[in-house]
């Protein structure tokens, strides 16, 4: 089954849930389906955390939760979209964290066109072959600098090796502050480009 459908994974350790101030469980009866992991949700609740369960059914998870949201089946995206809109409209997100540890400040290629403007398809679609040219699906990049020595072109040095992008590369400044981590919390830099970022998060 794992090789066919993949294996579940998480973006944090389950134990860390005990430190949460609010836990939202959506589309899962965690208390019964993942009882070992749910112990950390119970610990968070004992510390005063608010537990919110989003599920059409009322289950044991709902019984333990502070709030049960019995949305209609199939309307999860509507709820999540409303939450995102509320957070962005009222400036309720942690700006410094978003800039330092996500790609939200990285601008998208001007040639990219989303499905809303192309009747449900992305830019680069070839109707004759039914395939996509994904060259526009990338971050906006600064033009490569002119070569200053033989064999050097763009981000490549004299020995032909890719050099570290400059200061605006995603995570570059964060890595310098992440003592003890080889790549830093933001991960490895993009080796192919010097991407353009707007850390004010106000770019259209």
* pLDDT, tens digit, 9 for 90 and up, residues 73-90: 999 999 999 999 999 999
Residue 117 located in a structural domain: yes
Looking at the structure, tell me whether residues 134 and 82 fall in a common domain.
no
Looking at the structure, tell me whether residues 58 and 82 fall in a common domain.
yes
The pLDDT value given to residue 150: 56
Looking at the structure, tell me whether residues 48 and 34 fall in a common domain.
yes
Where residue 161 falls among pLDDT bands split at 50, 70, 90? very low
14 or 190, which is more confident:
14
Per-position DSSP letters for 112-170, written without gaps between them: ---GGGTTT--TTEETTTTEE-GGGSSB-BPPPPPP-STT--TTB-TTSPBPPP-TTST
The whole-angstrom separation of Cα 59 and Cα 28 is 9
Share of the chain above pLDDT 90, in %: 57
Chosen domain end from 67, 92, 117: 92
Domain holding 45, by residue range, is 15-92
Model confidence at 50: pLDDT above 80: yes
When the pLDDT of each residue in the chain is averaged and rounded to a whole number, the result is: 82
Residue 142 located in a structural domain: yes
The whole-angstrom separation of Cα 22 and Cα 188 is 31
**Residue whose token pair is 């200061």:** 167
CB atoms within 10 A of CB 52: 14
Model confidence at 157: pLDDT above 80: no
> What CATH number corresponds to the domain at position 32?
3.40.228.10
The whole-angstrom separation of Cα 202 and Cα 204 is 6
């Amino acid at each position: 089954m794992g090789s066919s459908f993949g294996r579940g994974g998480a973006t944090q350790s389950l134990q860390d849930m005990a430190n949460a101030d609010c836990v939202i469980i959506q589309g899962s009866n965690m208390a019964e389906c993942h009882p070992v992991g749910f112990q950390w949700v119970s610990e968070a609740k004992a510390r005063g955390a608010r537990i919110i369960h989003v599920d059409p059914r009322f289950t044991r998870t709902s019984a333990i939760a502070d709030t049960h949201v019995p949305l209609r089946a199939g309307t999860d995206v509507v709820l999540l979209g409303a939450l995102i809109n509320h957070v962005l409209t009222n400036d309720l997100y942690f700006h410094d964290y978003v800039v330092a540890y996500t790609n939200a400040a990285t601008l998208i290629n001007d040639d990219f066109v989303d499905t809303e403007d192309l009747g449900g398809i992305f830019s680069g679609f070839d109707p004759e072959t039914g395939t996509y040219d994904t060259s526009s699906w990338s971050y906006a990049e600064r033009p490569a600098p002119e070569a200053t020595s033989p064999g050097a072109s763009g981000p490549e040095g004299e020995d032909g090796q890719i050099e570290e992008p400059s200061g605006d590369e995603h995570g570059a400044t964060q890595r310098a502050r992440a003592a003890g981590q080889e790549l830093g919390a933001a991960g490895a830099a993009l080796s192919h480009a010097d991407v353009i970022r707007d850390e004010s998060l106000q770019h259209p």
